[in-house]
Structure 1
Amino acid sequence: MTTAPPSQVRQNYHQDLEAAVNHQINLELYASYVYLSMSYYFNRDDVALKDFAKYFLHQSHEEREHAEKLMKLQNQRGGRVFLQDIQKPDHDDWESGLNAMQCSLLELHKLATDKNDPHLCDFIETHYLNEQVKSIKELGSACILGFPLPFL
């Protein structure tokens, strides 16, 4: 089996970062898969929590978009996208899987900082970390104050 030649647009993109971005892509797809499972659980006729179903479906779409942004970044930087198997969601332990994904973003940011890659640091901050803070605040306000979420 022959390997593909290195990309002609690859510039200043460390292999460790390429591997970490591929890992993050897998985690984003996993999160999308978990949210999709949760959405259709809450949409069942015996559960019938339609607003929860809408919320988690929206989150599933957002996580898939995150994965797609990372794939686009990988191509722009001259890296290669290597998709991996997506782990089956464990419906008894939703929190730990999503928490792991959030921690992974921080690790990816730290690795990008260590490898002196300001472009990747900025990308992660702009498209992921700030959005997570906003989503947590939005969901918390809606739950505490009874405000509707913008997509419900």
Structure 2
Amino acid sequence: MLLKALRSSSLSGVVFADHTVSVPYPNVSARPAALSYGLCRPIRASADPDVAQSSALTGIVFRPFVEVQEQLVQVPPSSSQSLARQRYSAACEAAINEQINVEYNASYAYHTLFAYFDRDNVALPGLAHFFKSSSDEEREHAEKLMKYQNTRGGRVQLQSIVMPTLTEFDDPEKGDALSAMELALALERLVNEKLLKLHKTASDENDPQLTDFIESEFLSQQVEDIKKVASYVSQLRRVGKGHGVYHFDLQLQGEAA
């Protein structure tokens, strides 16, 4: 009956298992167009075990409602714990809190420099504005770190800010502008060292998200700030005290405008 069905449907060269059934056509032009152009090819069973194995694949690479069960049991049952925290170690959390304190202390130190150069008997508004902007930048860095801490499910713990031990910056040999700018350069280099320490902690804890955050949001900008302040130190060393500082201050005012 199978042969009769094949003859009635005018099929030729069809393979079932390893047996080929051939029915001659009385007229070649009577063959179906698909067979004439080779679009329908005979199917033969392959002895290749890899092909046989691939035919058993389902094509499913991700089963969300099955695989999610492992993560579901890790979701805290109470909102008293962070629901967003995942692969965020206590060491990274503590390091972020430490860096927040570093940024706030740097901001406080810059604010002291701003207050000094804003005095009426010092009267260098360009330097005052530069140090005020530097203070604001460090504070913004601290706030950015606080925001990241909350994003990762950590807890912000603010620490004490140290009172600046210096309030006068006039040096008999260097003058106040150069003395203050050298202090700013040392401060930027110190902050950079602290950031590198934070980055190392993130690397040691296998936290690629934190390392990416530090690299993209802090380290690149930090080296630019170091270069900028280093250039200011070189310029102040060149112009000396007195009249040269006045013109340097005018330059800073122009950059701030």
TM-score when scaled to structure 1?
0.86
1:76 aligns with 2:151: yes
1:113 aligns with 2:188: no
Q: What is the alpha-carbon distance in structure 2 between the residues aligned to residue 148 and residue 82 of structure 1?
A: 40
Aligned AA for 1:118?
A: P
1:151 aligns with 2:230: no
Q: What is the alpha-carbon distance in structure 2 between the residues aligned to residue 148 and residue 119 of structure 1?
A: 40
C-alpha spacing 1:97/1:131, structure 2 compared with 1 (3 Å):
closer
Q: 1:12-46: CA deviations, max 9, x gaps?
A: 10000000100100110000111011101111111
Q: Within 5 A, what are the aligned runs for 1:1-152?
A: 5-91=80-166, 94=183, 99-141=189-231, 148=251, 150-151=255-256
Q: Which has the higher contact order (CA 8 A, sep 6+)?
A: 1
Q: 1:76-135: CA deviations, max 9, x gaps?
A: 000000011111122279466654432111100001011111111111111111111112
Q: What is the alpha-carbon distance in structure 2 between the residues aligned to residue 151 and residue 143 of structure 1?
A: 18
Match of 2:65 in 1: none
The Cα RMSD (Å) is 2.5
Greater C-alpha Rg: 2
Q: What residue ranges of structure 1 are gaps of 5+ in the alignment?
A: none
Q: What is the alpha-carbon distance in structure 1 between the residues aligned to residue 232 and residue 195 of structure 2?
A: 25
- Identical aligned residues as a percent: 47
Q: Is the 8 A contact 2:126 2:251 kept in 1?
A: no
Q: What is the alpha-carbon distance in structure 1 between the residues aligned to residue 230 and residue 97 of structure 2?
A: 31
More helix by share: 1
Number of aligned residue pairs: give it: 149
Aligned AA for 1:50?
A: P
Match of 2:3 in 1: none
Q: Is the 8 A contact 2:188 2:222 kept in 1?
A: no
- Displacement of 1:139 in angstroms is 3.4
Q: What is the alpha-carbon distance in structure 2 between the residues aligned to residue 134 and residue 100 of structure 1?
A: 14
Q: What residue ranges of structure 2 are gaps of 5+ in the alignment?
A: 1-78, 170-179, 236-247
Moved more, 88-97 or 37-46: 88-97
Q: What is the alpha-carbon distance in structure 2 between the residues aligned to residue 107 and residue 68 of structure 1?
A: 19
- Displacement of 1:148 in angstroms is 4.3
